[in-house]
Amino acid sequence: MKRREIVFRPKAEGDLFALHSYIVAEAGLAVADAYIGRIEAACKSLETFPERGTRRDDIGRGLRTMGFERRVTIVFRVARSKVEIVRIVYGGQVFARALHEARADWSGS
């Protein structure tokens, strides 16, 4: 079984840091660390079965989305040897706006 490298784009890393900070303020460090750890594990699980989720070619060629624990959408793109995590969109965020802001991040490479 082919494994692909998992790469977090800068916007996705920023999303994780912002979400972590938000959860720390609301529920504490241990809860934030555990939640972000589960999101990262879900992203890393794409290394062996990346063709899951919903295709979103209407937003960007090759873009896919995958839900996580009913509050997070993981936005990613599958390349030949890697999976790029483009954004991590949390429940209350406007999904289309978040993707529009990141378009240059994923379309430029």
pLDDT per position as a tens digit, 22-71:
999 999 999 999 999 999 999 999 999 888 899 988 877 889 999 998 88
Band of the pLDDT at 94, cuts 50, 70, 90? low
Structural domain boundaries in the chain: 5-107
At residue 84, φ and ψ (nearest 5 deg) are -100, 120
Q: Are 109 and 32 in contact (CB under 8 A)?
A: no
pLDDT of residue 109: 45
- Residues with Cβ < 8 Å from 15, sequence gap 6 or more? 87, 88, 89, 90, 98
CATH topology of domain 5-107: YaeB-like fold (3.30.2310)
Instruction: State the pTM of this model.
Output: 0.82
